[in-house]
Amino acid sequence: MKILLVSPFDIGHPGGVNEHVLQLDRQFQAMGHATRILAATSMDAGELDDGHVYRLGMAMPLPSNGSTARITFSPFVLHKVKAFLDAGGFDVIHLHEPLTPMLPLATLLHSRTVNVGTFHAARSSNLWYHYTKAIIDLFFAKLDAVIAVSEASRSFVDEYFPADFQIIPNGISLADYRRDVEPIPELMDGRRNILFVGRYNEPRKGFRYLVRAMPMILGQFSNARLVVVGNGDPSRYERFLEQNGVSDVLFTGFVPYEMLPRYYASADVFCAPSTGRESFGLILLEGMASGVPVVAAANSGYSAVIDNGVNGVLTPPKDEHALAMGIVRVLADAEFRQRIVSNANEHVKQFDWPVVAERVMAVYERAISSNRAGPVQRVWPLGIAGTRG
């Protein structure tokens, strides 16, 4: 099968959607399929087609869902996408965040084959969907199958575009995140390491609640240490930490992917206190696969991954007292800790990338089979006509 994977985001910047695309790409190639990737690019890299990844359309940063999305709005991609698709001969086109400007929309406009869309985001509302729905409905109609990575993302999109969504979660490489990964030597000094991973300056990541919980945790475990992996400005928290006697905090800054499993392997507990707008809990799976007990805020995305008290601990969002109690319980109760880690180890197996890729491939095959009846004529805005099928 010849597959095109489309991301609206700058492929040069790490992010959940791009990582999802790259992992599916690797899995499909390992399964013997031919793949290409179409994604936005940056000013530094420029437009480039290396024969496998086609970087097209200069991306610009745009505030989105409490973070920053780097997408292209360039109208000049339209004719380039058409030429690329006409020459590609793809059996299926898989668009991630398929209703995001500009690459997915340009691809849907010119696609003459089977289109599959995966929706990743979860939030309370979307002004783009709200104000452009009459037009976007026409693009959504060209999707032959739709996937959501979680119930939270399905509920969000279904409010605007009701459809028969398949729930297929994000994946994790269990070959990378294992219990036998070598830890960071400097962290194996007998202290109890509480690990946070993420862009901690983003309010929705809830890091400030973990910082506020630390004095309470230290009241029970004076040898606790906070290890913060990810980009951000630690100076924003220095005054509070100093005033509350929280002195043992390690801000690592950015950590490359290949080093991240070693930090999980060094942790006694992993904490993810995000306040909301999380469609899925990929970092929770990383902790689970690494054999680390996980304590997380009970937002809709994380609640889809953790069964509270069974394979992890969920606490109310924005509640530093409950967060501290959850972490203290995990550190204090060895039997409980061992039980949730053992259950998590079994739970995470269903998210291994080969398993996820097989489920996505089954969606492709069903969509292709249902389209064998022939093309369906679509009438587009401004008199543009197109077909699918």
**10-25 CB burial, b ≥16 within 10 A, e <16:** bbeeebbbbebbbbbb
Residue 177 CB neighbour total at 10 angstroms = 21
Considering only CA atoms, which of 93, 111, 114 is closest in space to residue 366? 114
**Contact assessment for residue 367 and residue 92, using Cβ atoms and an 8 Å cutoff:** yes
**Contact assessment for residue 25 and residue 35, using Cβ atoms and an 8 Å cutoff:** yes
Packed helices 334-347 and 320-332: angle between N→C axes, nearest 10 degrees: 100
Distance CA 175, CA 285 (A): 13
Reading the block at residue 325, the tokens are 């109690």
Residue 259 CB neighbour total at 10 angstroms = 12
The parts of the chain modelled with pLDDT lower than 70 are 64-67, 124-125, 372-389
**Contact assessment for residue 147 and residue 166, using Cβ atoms and an 8 Å cutoff:** yes
Question: For 228-232, which contacts have Cβ atoms below 8 Å and span 24 or more sequence positions?
Answer: 228/196, 228/200, 228/252, 229/195, 229/196, 229/197, 229/198, 229/255, 229/260, 229/263, 230/196, 230/197, 230/198, 230/199, 230/200, 230/254, 230/255, 231/199, 231/200, 231/201, 232/199, 232/200, 232/201, 232/207
pLDDT at 166: 97
pLDDT at 126: 76
Q: 185-350: same fold as 2-171+352-388?
A: yes
Stated as kind and residue range, the H or E segment containing 164 is none
pLDDT at 318: 97
* DSSP annotation string for 74-99: -TTHHHHHHHHHHHH--SEEEEESTT
Q: What is the pLDDT of residues 105-117, one digit of tens each?
A: 999 999 999 999 9
Residue 366 CB neighbour total at 10 angstroms = 15
Amino acid identity of residue 230, one-letter, is G
Distance CA 225, CA 273 (A): 17
- Dmax (CA) for the chain in angstroms is 70
Q: Phi and psi of 249, rounded to 5°?
A: -130, 130
What topology does CATH give the domain 185-350? Answer: Rossmann fold (3.40.50)
**Collapsed DSSP state (helix, strand, coil) of residue 362:** helix
The residue behind tokens 């197996």 is: 349
The residue behind tokens 């973070």 is: 67
Q: Which residues pair with 225 in a beta bridge?
A: 193
What are the boundaries of each domain within the chain? 2-171+352-388, 185-350
pLDDT at 65: 59
What topology does CATH give the domain 2-171+352-388? Answer: Rossmann fold (3.40.50)
pTM here is 0.85
CA-CA distances (angstroms) from residue 246 to 103, 112, 113, 258? 47, 60, 58, 29
